[in-house]
A and B are shown apart, each in its own frame.
Chain A
């Protein structure tokens, strides 16, 4: 055996390695069950969801499985991870539960397929600012940023361009959305908060916070700067490089002056900051306010005179869905419109895309409190049985129309997105 050369050893090794590698590939599961077998097979389908924590809960999973008969896997992720996974690992999920603002990034990646709205029975029940951009002439019709309507439709089934008007091909089917604003601890703030500008008040120095997700944080920052008269924007939802430079410069100055206590990335961080009294005024999400109240602390989530920053979430279908799995996905979409889910989320303060359907699944006093802005006729509980509000309490900001109608900007992906992220990182690193 002494005539074996070193090269020979290497070659054998490489060949063995290659053999092992190819063997690994071949043993991958053969997933393509042909479209021919439809008889009762839907029970064998498993739909894998990815989404932010809100709708990725056990209660919802169980209800879907009970009503529709197929299996569901849910993976709750942070906003950033969710978008990242949607774009870079399209084979790892079947249904994307994400936000409209992520679409300018997700659609070009080609990982979702258009939803055929002809297959959605109650599509016309959806709140019109999603489907037509209209809402009784309220300010939301002229809102800035990545408003859902702007990215709602694709030009065609296989197009990756957004359509200007209504088409038969939707990107996401909406199911939850809300109007965000500043939240504060009335016991520690000691005065009325009426404007976004107050985030920069000197008396709250070292006690404020802003969220550290570029596409959302920049909009809150823009609301503050505009309200404080520190700068004006051509279009907050689509800033120029110069505008981004200026925003970042002002934010960095404020940071160096010590205006902010901390920055938060996830919902529970914002809850902890506020519950511990580290931060008394900050940009917030509504369930965080509920969570703080559930701890017995007072927290207000106020209507501000400049209006709200809106966000909209919906579900999209993976490009890889076909046959029976695609049928199951459409069944899910129709189930989603039916109202149970809207009622479930409504009891946590989120709005349903088809409110009139959700109404069927809410008690009258719940509907009055969450949607009509009326005083609670009795104690308000969330779906998990925790008390949210005492009898007589009124929802901050009032009725559905008042809140959503006054959304003036949305979470945004801008033309200068890469530059925005770079400048935002500079702000955080400064």
Chain B
């Protein structure tokens, strides 16, 4: 570090900015660009059952674009993403709103926040395992519903189903939505709210015309978190879906498990592009940089 500062000092004004970005650039090149480039290269290789051979073949891509199963899996993944995103937003916004506008003392805001993070005190795997005695055929929920005579037969769909996958994903990622929204709500100048009220706006108007537009960057950032995280999910899908539902991430992990690196790479490249498209769409809808 000191060495680098020394070099920077010797550089002329003109080149100093280049020197300043160099370390960051180097890190990104080595840990981001290089691995992705390797994945792209391998995605054109061929696989013969136990080993891969360097080649430049579109075989992997054609098989992905022609087999029905891939389309279905991508659609299913997008379905998971939109469900999880929508539910996270519906839950996160009121929570963030409450924390930002109805909890006035900093201490209480911190306490509530810590409460929000309690699910994260345990590992992801343990949280998922604990859903089984909760949702299983003989689990707590079914037992309770049976006892209350609301149902006569245990509900099978609670576990190892799309419902279970979405539930676990929302549980996992809702906090990633709460935090950015809370952050952008806190930045809103309270005088704007007072001014709007003075000018005769109802509290609904205030929400619709002042608070919601000003919290858009928070929603956008939270959405980027949730969308990118869910797009690549595989372990939750595998555990909660019991192998019954699929996602692209799960498909890739299966292919890696059977050594099909080229095909897995091709899938990873496509998944990356789809995810980037989603993020681009979000950024297009909300100019985060301008509004931050």
Contacts and interface: CB of A to CB of B under 8 A. Distances in A.
Interface of A: 1-2, 4, 6, 9, 13, 17, 80-81, 83-84, 87-88, 104-106, 108-109, 206, 212, 214, 255, 260-265, 272-273, 276-278, 413, 417-418, 421-422, 425-426, 428-430
The CB with the most chain A CB atoms within 10 A, among B136, B160, B246, is that of B160
Nearest to B238: A265
B47 A418 contact: yes
A2 B259 contact: no
Contact of B12 (A2, A104, A255): A2
A87 B138 contact: no
Contact of A261 (B11, B49, B50, B160): B160
B18 A6 contact: yes
B260 to A, nearest CB: 6
The prevalent SS among residues of A at the interface is helix
Contacts of A81: 257
B51 A214 contact: no
A278 B160 contact: yes
A80 B160 contact: no
B244 A263 contact: yes
Contacts of A255: 244
A273 B49 CA distance: 32
A340 to B, nearest CB: 34
B19 interface: yes
A272 B137 CA distance: 13
Contacts of A87: 50-51, 259
Contacts of B67: 426
A284 to B, nearest CB: 16
The CB with the most chain B CB atoms within 10 A, among A1, A17, A80, A425, is that of A425
Contacts of B251: 425, 429
Nearest to B22: A13
Contacts of B19: 9
B61 to A, nearest CB: 14
Contacts of A212: 243
Contacts, number: 101
Contacts of A206: 156
Given A9-B19, A80-B257, A105-B49, A277 B138 contact: yes
B136 A429 contact: no
11 contacts: A4-B11, A4-B15, A9-B11, A80-B257, A109-B50, A206-B156, A278-B132, A418-B260, A425-B258, A426-B69, A428-B250
B242 A261 contact: yes
B62 interface: no
A262 B49 contact: no
A276 B132 contact: yes
B258 A272 contact: no
Contacts of A88: 259
Contact of B254 (A83, A104, A272, A428): A428
Contacts of A4: 11-12, 15
B209 interface: no
B243 A428 contact: yes
B11 A1 contact: yes
Given A1-B11, A1-B12, A276-B138, A262 B73 contact: no
B160 A108 contact: no
Contacts of B243: 212, 262-265, 428
A146 B259 CA distance: 19
A417 B49 contact: yes
6 closest Cβ pairs, A-B complex? A262-B242, A263-B243, A105-B50, A429-B246, A80-B257, A417-B49
B80 to A, nearest CB: 13
Nearest to A423: B69
A278 B157 CA distance: 12
Contact of A262 (B11, B244, B255): B244
Given A263-B244, A272-B132, A278-B137, 6 more contacts: A1-B11, A87-B50, A87-B51, A214-B258, A425-B251, A426-B67
A109 B47 CA distance: 13
The CB with the most chain A CB atoms within 10 A, among B133, B137, B257, is that of B257
